[in-house]
């Protein structure tokens, strides 16, 4: 064991230094949504309905927007590779192409989400939350514009190794979001009491702040000057847009497969009761936090794998991927212990005893399945570092749609295991995805052409 640590010491330290600010930034983004959940759950009246409506709206928007977010994250390993090769003009072209894609994705995702919002009846969810869900959904749909622009620029700065910048901006935006939530939800001072819609307005303002601040620091500070002062023919940018979409859309489909499966589980919860739906949101909030940390490790692993590709070193690729996988699993195992021990305490912020009891049961299962979730998230990240997206996409579709959703329905309703059966189905999906994707990485390393 000691010899292994000595061999991987440089990789562990490098991945840790790169991953830590990315994790903090990712957690900051996720904590905005989690803060909305906690603060809405503490409302004196209508908290269960607001939680259920929030679950529906956030599920819909995440299902569609995840394709855009993952597309925009594709350039991090590409920027890292270009930086390793001292091709600074390529770094600038990648940034320009990513910002254009962010604007395009904002438009197309927004159109799809608005269309879905007018056809919600097909999901057969509780009718009493329909209007509340639609109003909140329209507000946070607008916030996709600054959120996508922030992600586009963040992927550029992360790829260059300046993840600290986006981390600091995200954490300051989180504080702003919490304060505005308190004001707009409850009507503090001269602010109106808008309830759930107030949480949406707070998120909208915080995301505009994030995009504007990161854009200012990136384009107006000397630290990035060497990457932004080259002449870039527009034709080259158009080629990069096509290439990013070619890699990014299959990767986005991977994310959609997973998020859609989890949203399918949420819809099934609504078939049982509104309390089960609210409990699912409470439990998935904690699991999503740990998952976002794993995606930070995945992003760092992908950047280091991309650098290994730039160095044309098979050993560097192998060690970077293995280090990221080990760090992801160990982190998730530590989080699992806390979820198993403090499951009731974590669910107790909701002012409804029935929801607390159901959420506590689901948090226990979350502790188990996130072990596999961490491995599959990191595996996807390091495979993207090698621009390997097509086979991983097939794997994720099979895992979530061929295994997860069918098993969730069978166990939840055919065997009457209800919410527990639904989450067992999700666990089986994550196990299948983690096993196949990690195998894919090691198989790919042996055959990659450098």
Question: Measured in whole angstroms, how far is the alpha carbon of residue 143 from the centre of its chain?
Answer: 16
Report d(CA 53, CA 43) in Å as an integer. 14
Greatest pairwise CA separation for the chain in angstroms: 64
Report d(CA 317, CA 322) in Å as an integer. 9
DSSP letter, residue 124: -
**Helices (DSSP H) in 118-162: which residue ranges?**
130-142, 144-159
**Region 409-413 average pLDDT:** 93
Looking at residue 424, its pLDDT comes to: 93
Task: Decide if pLDDT at 407 tops 60.
Answer: yes
**Per-domain boundaries in the chain:** 2-447
Please give the model's pTM, rounded to 2 decimal places: 0.74
Report d(CA 258, CA 395) in Å as an integer. 11
Residue (of 9, 18, 75, 4) closest to 301 by Cα position? 18
The tens digit of pLDDT for each residue in 60-86 reads: 777 788 888 888 888 888 888 888 788
Looking at residue 448, its pLDDT comes to: 77
Looking at residue 284, its pLDDT comes to: 83
How many other CB atoms are found less than 10 A from the CB of residue 225?
10
Q: What is the mean pLDDT of the chain?
A: 83
**Region 296-314 average pLDDT:** 86
Nearest-Å Rg of the Cα atoms of the chain is 21
Tokens for 437, please give them: 């994707």
Looking at residue 279, its pLDDT comes to: 85
Q: Are 292 and 29 in contact (CB under 8 A)?
A: yes
Tokens for 61, please give them: 């928007």
Task: Decide if pLDDT at 88 tops 90.
Answer: no
Task: Decide if pLDDT at 126 tops 60.
Answer: no
Q: Report the alpha-carbon angle 95-59-167, nearest 5.
A: 40
Q: Are 198 and 56 in contact (CB under 8 A)?
A: no
Task: Decide if pLDDT at 300 tops 70.
Answer: yes
DSSP letter, residue 404: I
Tokens for 206, please give them: 């915080």
Report d(CA 310, CA 320) in Å as an integer. 13
Looking at residue 296, its pLDDT comes to: 82
Task: Decide if pLDDT at 390 tops 60.
Answer: yes
Residues whose CB is less than 8 angstroms from the CB of residue 93 and which lie 6 or more positions away in sequence, other chains included:
232, 236, 237, 240
Q: Of 152-156, 323-327, 385-389, where does mean pLDDT reach its minimum?
A: 385-389
Q: Are 420 and 359 in contact (CB under 8 A)?
A: no
Tokens for 78, please give them: 């590409």
Looking at residue 408, its pLDDT comes to: 93
Whether the CA torsion 390, 391, 392, 394 is positive or negative: it is positive
Q: Report the alpha-carbon angle 385-390-396, nearest 5.
A: 95
**Region 262-291 average pLDDT:** 83
SS3 sequence, 306-345? HHHHHHCCHHHHHHHHHHHHHHHHHHHHHHHHHHHHCHHH
Q: Are 241 and 59 in contact (CB under 8 A)?
A: no
């Amino acid at each position: 064991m000691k010899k292994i640590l000595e061999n991987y010491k440089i990789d562990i330290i490098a991945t840790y230094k790169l991953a830590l600010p990315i994790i903090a930034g990712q957690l900051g983004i996720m904590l905005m949504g989690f803060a909305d959940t906690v603060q809405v759950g503490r409302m004196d009246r209508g908290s269960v309905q607001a939680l259920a409506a929030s679950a529906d709206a956030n599920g819909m928007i995440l299902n569609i927007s995840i394709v855009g977010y993952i597309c925009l994250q594709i350039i991090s390993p590409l920027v890292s590779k270009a930086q390793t090769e001292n091709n600074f003009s390529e770094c600038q072209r990648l940034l320009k192409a990513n910002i254009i894609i962010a604007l395009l994705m904002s438009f197309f995702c927004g159109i799809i989400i608005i269309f879905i919002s007018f056809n919600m009846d097909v999901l057969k969810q509780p009718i009493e939350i329909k209007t509340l869900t639609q109003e909140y959904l329209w507000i946070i749909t607008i916030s996709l514009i600054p959120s996508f622009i922030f992600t586009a620029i963040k992927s550029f700065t992360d790829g260059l190794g300046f993840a600290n910048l986006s981390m600091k901006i995200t954490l300051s935006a989180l504080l702003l979001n919490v304060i505005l939530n308190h004001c707009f939800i409850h009507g503090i001072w001269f602010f109106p009491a808008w309830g759930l819609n107030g949480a949406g307005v707070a998120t909208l303002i915080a995301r505009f702040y994030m995009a504007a601040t990161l854009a200012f620091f990136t384009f107006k500070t000397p630290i990035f000057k060497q990457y932004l002062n080259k002449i870039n023919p527009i034709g080259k940018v158009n080629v990069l847009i096509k290439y990013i979409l070619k890699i990014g859309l299959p990767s986005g489909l991977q994310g959609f497969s997973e998020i859609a499966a989890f949203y399918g589980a949420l819809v099934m919860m609504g078939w049982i009761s509104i309390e089960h739906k609210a409990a699912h949101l409470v439990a998935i909030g904690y699991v999503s936090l740990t998952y976002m940390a794993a995606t930070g490790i995945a992003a760092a692993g992908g950047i280091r794998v991309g650098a290994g590709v730039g160095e044309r070193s098979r050993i560097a690729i192998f060690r970077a991927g293995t280090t990221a996988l080990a760090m992801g699993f160990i982190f998730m195992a530590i989080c699992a212990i806390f979820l198993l021990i403090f499951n009731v305490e974590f669910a107790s912020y909701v002012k409804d005893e029935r929801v607390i009891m159901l959420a506590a049961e689901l948090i226990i299962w979350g502790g188990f399945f996130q072990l596999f979730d961490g491995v599959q998230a990191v595996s996807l990240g390091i495979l993207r570092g090698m621009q390997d997206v097509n086979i991983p996409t097939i794997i994720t579709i099979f895992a979530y749609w061929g295994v997860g959703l069918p098993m969730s329905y069978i166990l939840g309703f055919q065997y009457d295991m209800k919410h527990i059966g639904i989450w067992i189905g999700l666990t089986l999906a994550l196990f299948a995805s983690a096993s196949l994707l990690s195998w894919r990485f090691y198989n790919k390393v042996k055959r990659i052409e450098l």
